[in-house]
Structure 1
Amino acid sequence: MNRLSDKEAIDLLKHGDILELGQQANKIRQEKHPGNTVTFIVDRNINYTNVCLNECRFCAFFRRENRKDAYLLPIETILQKVKETQEAGGTQVMLQGGLHPSLPFEYYLNMINTIKTAFPDIVIHSFSPAEILHFSKIANKSIKETLQDLRSAGLASLPGGGAEILVDRVRKIVSPKKIMTDDWLKVMETAHSIGMESTATMVLGLGETIEERIEHMRRVRDLQDKTGGFRAFIMWTFQPGNTQLGGNKLSSWEYLKTLAVSRLYFDNISHIQGSWVTQGQQIGQITLAFGADDLGSIMLEENVVRAAGTAYQMSIDKMVNTIEKADFKAAQRDTEYNIIRRF
């Protein structure tokens, strides 16, 4: 199959039949992942602080430092959350916080090191490019040195958070204080260059055009051609509740169509993840017929999407049931997509 061009991808998003797209994407998924297995991970998002300098208009989670409901979790609380994760069969934690104006770089190094010392088997898959760039500035170090220090402390890989739409026109509207496209890509390229892999993400429904969605995908695909460091592409929809940006939720129809096109477009990324967190369990199940081979995490804790008024619950049993009812075989994976348990 020839590589899908940007023009062809745009045409498919604008005029393609959704069921045909689903069938084509499903065929590619089966070629890349024969055997009918759908994976998921057991992990926990630990939001160690909600204080953030960026104040993104699409975010309902952040608080200014002087607000009464601003917080910074004590290390004892973080360790308890990691302990609960491991006891629940979890293998990974994702530390996510705002860009706190008062914390030194050593705080983050100590936090990772303390977690890794107490729980050596837990994988720390944490800190988006925006956080990494913030750390490099407060530490007065290069991005590469910052990442090397974090890796020495126990950081394993980076999540793809903060990508939103990798087009500066959109970013200047929805998150003007946040890093722009080239900075996000530069952090990821640097991480890949030292052998630290990551995921890539995309948030639909931020006022982007069809052409800008494909531009986002092209920037990710181009970098993947260069580094091969993205393990997965993960896409979800903007949740407008309680945000400054507001607006309406994108339809599940539009989400599924774009998901299918992403599977056709990313010939160089192995895994495409379906989002039950923003779409709900039933649409999450349908993503498995639209190119997704992974359903992400059961998320023992999740606060950012919840702050926007969207909350879907998941357990291991419910996840396995969701996958099996779609006629797939469920398997628990680790951060690197190795299967560690079949059901």
Structure 2
Amino acid sequence: MDVYRVIERQRDTRLRQIGEKVLKGERLSAEDGLYLFRSGQLTYVGMLAEWVNRQRNGQYAYFVVNRQINPTNVCLYQCSFCAFGVTKSDPRAYELTLEEILRKVEETYLQGGREVHVVGGIPPHWTLDHYVGIVKEIKKRFPDMVVKAWTAVEIHHMAKISKKSYEEILRMLKDAGLDALPGGGAEIFSERVRRIIAPYKASGEEYLQVHRVAHKLGIPTNATMLYGHVETYEERVEHMLKLRELQDETGGFQVFIPLAYWPEGTRLGGSRTSSVDDLMTIAVSRLFLDNFPHIKAYWVTLGERVAQVALNMGADDIDGTIEEEKIVHSAGTTSAYGHSRDKLVRLIKEAGKVPVERDTFYRVVRIFS
């Protein structure tokens, strides 16, 4: 792509100036990020984002053979944006036994899986030992499996019920076999928004502090942003700015994952984001989060086709085989429950990229030329 010529011909002076900053490797301001969101020029913004992505990752697009396990949907917080969490008395409530969890891990292990991703509801009756025990037993039974478990919201809850610090909780989990933290629970850091969609769960600052402590302890983490509900573009940029600042401080984030809001079955309601908004959010995040090595196009919330396009607009990761996922599916996504390694390879090749199977830490397992 002749990105230099496209920037030179850009009639919007501000967009041209932003493009020139990108080419020089200069950091975008919050005002720049907001202008990109409001510009409506997806083709131009996506081109800039893909140029940045190729400087970092070439033609590679990553995926992982993994499994997501949601041990329970019982949750005391009952956030209005969530269609997954229910009360214990709800007829839809479920709670997997430890043996059921271990059987799911075994299925993935026998298929060559390298990661298990454990997140779920926050049951009022679980103790700290319950959370730690799940990690410990998975690692004991499958020592080669990477355990990526419990969001910052769950870590905050563990600290609250046990009256321990975040550091104490994370050290216990690390000693039990925890390898990494997922990025869920960030939603939008804006307190205005959180009062509407999730008034009782951990605050944005508490989320960031959990990740700060995890990074201090050498635990790598992911970061997310739930968009498309009641937040503004300003609040999206503010969210990314806080993540960028923490990454400057610690360097512990591996990947940023924009998560599109799905409204079906939620009390919050609303409508699904457009594909244009999805792609613009991916592209702006690649340009703005200059210190994040990877941007993920999460096929579960985006759908396969939009995720493929996103791989040409700044994203370099499509997530993984997953096998099953209940949280977003509860809110209406029609994405298939799981993909084989072969299907992910095909999706990436169809997008014009080179598929790379990775592990949790973005170490290359296999390149599919």
Task: Report the TM-score range of the alignment, normalised by the length of the smaller protein.
Answer: over 0.9
Instruction: Count the aligned residue pairs.
Output: 342
More RCO (CA 8 Å, sep 6+):
1
1:80 aligns to what? Answer: 103
2:298 aligns to what? Answer: 275
Task: Tell me the distance in 2 between the aligned counterparts of 1:283 and 1:97.
Answer: 26
2:115 aligns to what? Answer: 92
1:89-122, Cα deviation, whole Å (9 max, x unpaired): 2111111121111111111222111111110011
1:148 aligns to what? Answer: 171
Q: TM-score, normalised by structure 2?
A: 0.91
Task: Tell me the distance in 1 between the aligned counterparts of 2:206 and 2:79.
Answer: 17
Work out which of the residue numbers 236, 240, 252 in structure 1 matches 2:259.
Answer: 236
Q: Where does structure 2 lack aligned partners over 5 or more consecutive residues?
A: 1-24
1:3 aligns to what? Answer: 27
Q: TM-score, normalised by structure 1?
A: 0.98
User: Counterpart of 2:258 in 1: which secondary structure?
Assistant: strand
Task: Tell me the distance in 2 between the aligned counterparts of 1:167 and 1:267.
Answer: 22
User: Counterpart of 2:179 in 1: which secondary structure?
Assistant: strand
Amino acid at match of 2:251: G
1:50 aligns to what? Answer: 73
Contact 2:222-2:254 at 8 Å conserved across structures: yes
Contact 1:91-1:123 at 8 Å conserved across structures: yes
Q: Does 1:303 align with 2:323?
A: no
Q: How far is the alpha carbon of 1:327 from its aligned partner?
A: 1.6
Q: Where does structure 1 lack aligned partners over 5 or more consecutive residues?
A: none
1:330 aligns to what? Answer: 355
1:17 aligns to what? Answer: 41
1:30 aligns to what? Answer: 54
User: Counterpart of 1:253 in 2: which secondary structure?
Assistant: helix
Amino acid at match of 2:36: L
Q: How far is the alpha carbon of 1:143 from its aligned partner?
A: 0.6
Q: Which moved more, 1:101-110 or 1:310-319?
A: 310-319
Contact 2:135-2:149 at 8 Å conserved across structures: no
2:125 aligns to what? Answer: 102
RMSD between superposed Cα atoms in Å: 1.0
Task: State the percentage of identical aligned residues.
Answer: 42
2:281 aligns to what? Answer: 258
Task: Determine which structure has more spread, i.e. the larger CA radius of gyration.
Answer: 2
2:238 aligns to what? Answer: 215
Task: Tell me the distance in 2 between the aligned counterparts of 1:262 and 1:98.
Answer: 28
Task: Tell me the distance in 1 between the aligned counterparts of 2:266 and 2:354.
Answer: 38
Task: Tell me the distance in 2 between the aligned counterparts of 1:18 and 1:169.
Answer: 28
Contact 1:203-1:236 at 8 Å conserved across structures: yes
Q: How far is the alpha carbon of 1:67 from its aligned partner?
A: 2.1
Q: How far is the alpha carbon of 1:16 from its aligned partner?
A: 4.8
Contact 1:305-1:311 at 8 Å conserved across structures: no
Q: Does 1:248 align with 2:271?
A: yes
Task: Tell me the distance in 2 between the aligned counterparts of 1:205 and 1:309.
Answer: 14
Work out which of the residue numbers 178, 183, 191 in structure 1 matches 2:206.
Answer: 183
1:11-44, Cα deviation, whole Å (9 max, x unpaired): 111015110111100010011112x111101111
Q: How far is the alpha carbon of 1:312 from its aligned partner?
A: 1.2
Amino acid at match of 2:30: D
Amino acid at match of 1:264: L
Q: How far is the alpha carbon of 1:178 from its aligned partner?
A: 1.2
Task: Tell me the distance in 2 between the aligned counterparts of 1:275 and 1:49.
Answer: 22
Task: Tell me the distance in 1 between the aligned counterparts of 2:313 and 2:269.
Answer: 28
Contact 1:22-1:289 at 8 Å conserved across structures: yes
1:120 aligns to what? Answer: 143
Contact 1:240-1:308 at 8 Å conserved across structures: yes
Task: Tell me the distance in 1 between the aligned counterparts of 2:352 and 2:93.
Answer: 45
Q: Does 1:136 align with 2:162?
A: no
Task: Tell me the distance in 2 between the aligned counterparts of 1:217 and 1:266.
Answer: 7
2:312 aligns to what? Answer: 289
Task: Tell me the distance in 2 between the aligned counterparts of 1:311 and 1:303.
Answer: 11
